[in-house]
Amino acid sequence: MTIAPGRPRHDHPARPAAEWAAARMLAHTLPAALPEESVPLAAATGRTLAAPLRAAVALPGFDNSAMDGYAVRGDGPWRVVDRILAGRTHTVASLVAHTAVEVATGAPVPDDADRVVPYEAADRTGDVVRATPGDRRHIRRAGEYAQPGQELAPAGSRVTPTTVGLAASVGLDMLTVHARPRVRLVISGDELVHTGLPRWGRVRDAIGPMLGPLLSAWGAALLDSRMVGDHPDWFAGAIADSTADADVTIVCGASSVGPADGLHSSLRRLRAVVHVDGVACRPGHPQILAQVGPRWIVGLPGNPYAALVAALTLVDPVLAALTGRSLAELDAAVLAGPLRPDDRNTRIVPVRRRDGQLRLVEGAHPGYLGAAATADAFAVVLPGWQPGDNVSLLTLP
């Protein structure tokens, strides 16, 4: 962005910056969850259940053996009358006292079997099996884990690979989840280049490549990234176009007060409702949350580490709300320093865990991602913090 000499721009209203935690909470409470849709299990991981996951069948579906061995009835010794492997569906001869059926783990056991004697506890000679008495039945009864219709996970749960496995085991092929928010990136800056070596005066776009995977991990469907030059008309046009089909438009750069920083004027032209205009945090002060009808606009600062902080502050909470997931509770930990306390702003600093202690990763700058890239987490250091006080920890997915 170029600042035209003698034309400082002060045409956006001076508002008090929002306190960091309040801005994050507002970004999570304002948007309503998107409608539900039904998706195949293979596409469900990372989504949020919009309806409880209920068993379609009983689990186990039939009485079956928990061990390889002999299903027996009554006291031993037992005469072996049949052999049943898992997957065999022939009806099992009912057992009379002193008889046994050889069974594999998971194979159906006759209704009247008392217990399964594992091979290790059995002594077989010809057709006759002996074993010492045992307390364990080693039979998994039909429906003992889940009954048809039983709720196994509530609405609002995040679908994990384990959830998908559970859903499959109770007979489901589809899950009801919230729709994925359609998100577009609008990246501004005449100085930006997108591949190769930037020549003098040019800068590689670092925010687009960083945000793409982050947005996917937060549950968004990235429509595309659009590059816009620093002309206010182009900028307002790009945002207006984007809000036609994107649930969330993320604007990178142009958030500050320079003459080419057209976000504020574009929002006014679009008659957007601005909920957050500046957050009292360092870095990442010039961040914006606005709304045009049901569409959301998040403005991130152009400095890449500041943009990451703003994404953690506003984008993650907005996407959490739209996808129906709750906002992660932040773990607390002691941070020893070295860090200068700040009485007015929340600081978001990269930290690493070493030898059970949380340490600052030094060398973070708003315009540089080096320290952030080697961090385990980002400490939220509230105004008034002193070395040794608690901080809360933001993590990346």
Ligand X SMILES: Nc1nc2c(c(=O)[nH]1)N[C@H]1C(S)=C(S)[C@@H](COP(=O)(O)OP(=O)(O)OC[C@H]3O[C@@H](n4cnc5c(N)ncnc54)[C@H](O)[C@@H]3O)O[C@H]1N2
Which residues bind to ligand X, rule: CB under 6 A? Answer: 1, 187, 189, 191-192, 203, 205-207, 252-258, 261, 285-286, 301-304, 306, 366-367
Alpha-carbon distance 346 to 216, whole Å? 27
Q: How far is the CB of 8 from ligand MOO (least distance, A)?
A: 18
Nearest Cα neighbor of 190 from 203, 207, 200, 199 is 203
Do 324 and 34 touch, CB atoms closer than 8 A?
yes
Q: Which of 120, 111, 108 is nearest to 73 (CA)?
A: 111
Tell me the closest approach of the beta carbon of residue 230 to ligand X, in angstroms: 7
Nearer to ligand X, 49 or 252 (CB): 252
Q: Which residues bind ligand MOO (CB under 6 A)?
A: 282-286, 301, 303, 306, 366
Q: Cβ closer to ligand X: 61 or 367?
A: 367
Q: Tell me the closest approach of the beta carbon of residue 380 to ligand MOO, in angstroms.
A: 15
* Rounded Cα gap, residues 216 and 397, in angstroms: 10
| Contact partner, 205, from ligand X, ligand MOO, none, Cβ < 5-8 Å per class | ligand X
> Which listed option, ligand X, ligand MOO, none, makes contact with residue 31 (CB within 5 to 8 Å by class)?
none
The least distance separating ligand X from the CB of residue 229, rounded to whole angstroms, comes to 11
CA atoms of 156 and 164, how far apart (whole Å): 15
CA distance 70 to 101: 5
By beta-carbon proximity to ligand X, the closer residue of 35 and 201 is: 201
Give 84 or 252: the residue with its C-beta nearer to ligand X.
Answer: 252
Contact partner, 238, from ligand X, ligand MOO, none, Cβ < 5-8 Å per class: none
Interatomic CA distance for residues 29 and 386, integer angstroms:
30
- Residue 192 interacts, among ligand X, ligand MOO, none and using kind-specific CB cut-offs from 5 to 8 Å, with ligand X
CA 11 to CA 134: how far, in whole Å? 84
Residue 371 beta carbon to ligand MOO: minimum distance, rounded to whole angstroms: 13
CA distances from 336 to 163, 253, 367, 386 (A): 39, 33, 25, 8
Nearer to ligand MOO, 58 or 349 (CB): 349
202-206 contact pairs (CB < 8 A, 24+): 206/304, 206/369
Q: What does 187 bind: ligand MOO, ligand X, none (CB cut-off 5 to 8 Å by kind)?
A: ligand X
